[in-house]
Chains A and B, each alone.
Chain A
């Protein structure tokens, strides 16, 4: 909303500098986003053209004598519309104005044009920065004071308001004036709406009925006969232009002016084009067609409210007029409408037809019904003033059963104290209500019965009035206290604690946290996991772009994309993880949001340095990270080989605790890597699902286990076995054996001296008893049994 101060001053005295006023409004909730200064000209005055004669050396140029009151100067002018007797904007030599040839602001110099010196310039809108019209000079009203600095006469300041949706009132200049008055202790001067009526009463000339009162609470109308359509007077055009609207003709301009003045959108019909002089406010018939003012033919539904004549719709109530009944140059009789339409319905119609107009911006917020006749009378008076004609006596006023009573809201000292934590003197509250234009009467000794003025639609409950009080006295005057009630007992959800713990562990392990968008493409997901065609991931119905359409079901897809994006910047190491949610659809319910942590490791294992080798991160780095995390959490996990299409064949394990799947660890399938443009020999990833990890964590506090009191015995075994035997099987068998405390794999070997298809594992085996030192014989006996088991189960033999 653009509010020119010149317009605002019409209703309220302003003696504050514009910036200070803007600050006060902003602090009170009417945010002024910009203070625009129009003018700032020097050496530009209101001039009077006393004579015009042709230029002796050029057909298109003329020589004008311009009076500034104190002197008379001769200037060369090329504008076709210059004429003797005009008041114009005169730039003297030395004025800084926009030069349309050099396209810059320049200081005007005396110059010879076709042999005759021009001692200044008669300006168009372009030179003064007032508009784009360069076809002719600006002609000022005849009463413009000759010799006055133009800044005093035309200069202005415009407040650009950025309004919250509740402050509909400040979409109007009068609404802002009320606010300014309350903030500065002034009184608002409401405009007058006096006009003479004559001839046949309106009631006999037009028949108006409201068939859908639920969508039109009030419908008022007046009738002007014998008007002359034409351009608006300059003052009216200026008001509209400065507020950002384009002047059209006097009748339409008045309706726009009153809308900006009072907030009430109005509509003017060509009375003679209304069939049978009958207006019916009704729901559209399904499929009914209406060509709107913008020339578009629209197909309507019963959810749309139309203004119809005896036969057809002639306007879309409160949204846009119909082309058929539009005011044109030939219009003589004008039916003027000022109505209160239903906000929600108006908004829905506007949205479904893609027609957000200045009118709907106001109607959708719920205008007060008291406003309709006030604005109607004001507009009638103005049209009468600028377009002539006569006004038929009376107005039409169709009011629904809801009536048009102003809301009355109670305000008590107790409520103020309860909400703000401070007392506000009741007399002070009364003063605030007065300043804001609220009417009050006492109710008991500590309460007020407050009637809300017609321009405010945002005050419905006591809390709303408390806000009026506190925003007026200022928030600084509210004390600063801490909540006095006891602190509620609460523990964070275990999965949140776990997620934070894992994030800290991973960061400490040298892995960088990233946060990706959870919306991806279906293709991205397909590349890393098998999708169930019958239960596809959730889709956004209005995606911002096609690459952000599906809610991810795995973190791996976006993590790999992030890796690819970063590989352009170096050779790694790339160690990244994300802790976030994946979304699993559920029938008829919100998706299951699974807390997940995933990591990706690729590139050099060590930071590039003069010290290190150039080995690359691989499966075992990823698995090491998973082991670190699970070990720290006290989770005993197993790793089972699995073939998954997203993973390198034979380089993927599912992580389990008992039968529960905790996650995956593996290397990305080379085909997937190629498709994603990943540039490493291998990329290792892991993914952990936090709920099952949480379930696998020891439920009770870890108990202290006494340190061994007797020495252990060690045996080193070199075992040869078929190469497809899994190492975990070997250590599992060993550990299961009597008196074995732990087993450490310390070497794997295949090649020379080992048969084809076999491998050798070297393992430290520690024997330990809790209650005694094991004798050599006991250890050897145990070892023998162990070796027999290994041979029987795995065909593993001691290396010769």
Chain B
């Protein structure tokens, strides 16, 4: 430590003090030493303080220039001091943190998100494809009158086409003693209900549960979903049906999909078709493909132009309005998309199955 000096301060002297003080500070690694350093340079009797005090022995001009130098040196040292203290503190924090290491290879704290049932997911996907084309989503009753499930859809009693829908009947007889209530065999009754309740233009999709009196196997469930579609208005054509379903197939199965129609029969449409898409698994090539069973095509849905008798039954002017309708099985579409080989998985509700989606 330098003794207080009676010598008048010089620029050179101030520079020397600043240099040696800085060098000394940079070598200090703990707060006690830094405090000692502060006292010896910047303390009341510290070296630099002493120099400052001796300024009064200088003449006015010298006092101004040397004084400025001395003040600058003091500020610099104070800044350096602050930096050093921060450096020492941070180094200490780092040291202590490095004592608290984790085994980052251990598994994280588990938090499982719930998932929506694959049917919910696919039904939403199907519906939103149609919503984007201006369709609204409506739902209807699962327990339905025979009237809506069959009669209004041009499937009168005694019609052989009734064999297409094996029915679960509800234990209920109408006043004439006829079975009149059933678990709907398809979502199509909503076609009649929607048309009865409003005037064209109509553009809706109807998702919902359906039921059949049928033995189950890998491709048949007695309880399943359908998504029905209906568009009625002036000037709606089969070409529009094609365009709408083309767009749907592209949204669900990819831009490059081709579609194909073949003649099919449903009593509530005429002409009636079913639609296939070219197989997305083998790109329509067949050749040992499991998904399309070698045909290169996958049947996706049934469709057609609304039968004039159906329009008549709901009181529409069949010479003014035309429309198209379609229906599809979301489970089948999910099975195709995810490669599920057995429809019975869907409602067995084994969590090990459901958590995969």
Binding site for B on A (CB under 8 A): 26-29, 164-167, 343-345, 347-348, 364-365, 418-422, 461, 463-464, 466-467, 470-471, 475-476, 478-488, 490-493, 496, 500, 503-504, 506-519, 538-544, 551, 562, 565-566, 569, 573-577, 581, 583, 590-591, 593, 606-612
Contact = CB atoms under 8 A, between A and B. Distances in A.
Nearest to A609: B110
B160 A496 contact: no
A493 to B, nearest CB: 7
Given A29-B262, A344-B158, A480-B246, A165 B234 contact: no
- Most A CB within 10 A of own CB, among B137, B138, B172, B351: B351
Given A365-B160, A569-B350, 9 more contacts: A419-B238, A475-B260, A481-B239, A481-B243, A492-B136, A544-B222, A593-B142, A593-B143, A612-B109
A165 B308 CA distance: 19
B85 to A, nearest CB: 35
11 contacts: A344-B158, A418-B235, A467-B263, A480-B242, A483-B243, A492-B137, A540-B169, A569-B351, A583-B142, A590-B181, A611-B109
Interface in B203-249: 203-204, 209, 213-215, 222-223, 231, 233-240, 242-244, 246-247
A566 B308 contact: no
- Most B CB within 10 A of own CB, among A478, A493, A513, A518: A513
A559 to B, nearest CB: 9
Contacts of B145: 590
A492 B130 CA distance: 13
- Most B CB within 10 A of own CB, among A463, A506, A539, A543: A463
A532 B195 CA distance: 37
Contact of B265 (A27, A165, A543): A165
A581 B265 contact: no
A609 to B, nearest CB: 5
A28 B143 contact: no
B333 to A, nearest CB: 16
Contacts of B119: 515
Contacts of B231: 483
A392 to B, nearest CB: 36
A561 to B, nearest CB: 9
A487 B142 CA distance: 28
B23 to A, nearest CB: 51
Q: Which 8 A-B pairs have the closest CB atoms?
A: A29-B263, A421-B237, A344-B158, A421-B239, A490-B136, A487-B134, A467-B271, A164-B265
Nearest to A483: B240
B202 interface: yes
B143 A461 contact: no
Contacts of B238: 419-421, 470, 478
A516 B242 contact: no
Contacts of B213: 542, 544
B354 interface: yes
B19 interface: no
B305 interface: yes
A485 B234 contact: yes
A540 B171 contact: yes
A500 to B, nearest CB: 8
Given A347-B160, A463-B307, A483-B231, A551 B143 contact: yes
- Most A CB within 10 A of own CB, among B170, B181, B263: B263
B271 A470 contact: yes
A463 B134 CA distance: 27
Q: State the main secondary structure of chain B at its contact with A.
A: mixed
Contact of B262 (A27, A166, A485, A512): A27
B66 interface: no
B115 interface: yes
Given A480-B242, A540-B183, A475 B107 contact: no
A476 B307 CA distance: 22
Interface in B133-147: 133-134, 136-139, 141-145
A539 B352 CA distance: 32
B239 A513 contact: no
Contact of B201 (A488, A492, A566): A488
B243 to A, nearest CB: 5
Interface residues of B, number: 88
B136 A514 contact: no
B116 A419 contact: no
B82 interface: no
Contacts of B214: 544
Contact of B354 (A490, A491, A512): A512
Given A26-B262, A419-B237, A479 B116 contact: no
B288 to A, nearest CB: 17
Contacts of A493: 138-139
A353 to B, nearest CB: 15
A419 B265 contact: no
Contact of A512 (B158, B164, B215, B351): B351
B86 to A, nearest CB: 34
Contacts of B243: 480-483
A538 B172 contact: yes
A475 B273 contact: yes
Contacts of B267: 166
Contacts of A507: 113-116
Interface string B105-137: 011011111111101100010000000011011
A364 B234 CA distance: 36
A100 B308 CA distance: 60
B346 interface: yes
Given A165-B265, A344-B158, A590-B145, A482 B270 contact: no
Contact of B158 (A347, A467, A516): A347
B271 to A, nearest CB: 3
A297 B169 CA distance: 30
A461 B114 contact: no
B68 interface: no
Contacts of A492: 136-138
B159 interface: yes
A450 B351 CA distance: 60
- Most B CB within 10 A of own CB, among A166, A504, A573, A577: A166
B168 interface: yes
B160 A364 contact: yes
Contacts of A611: 109
- Most A CB within 10 A of own CB, among B109, B114, B260, B351: B114
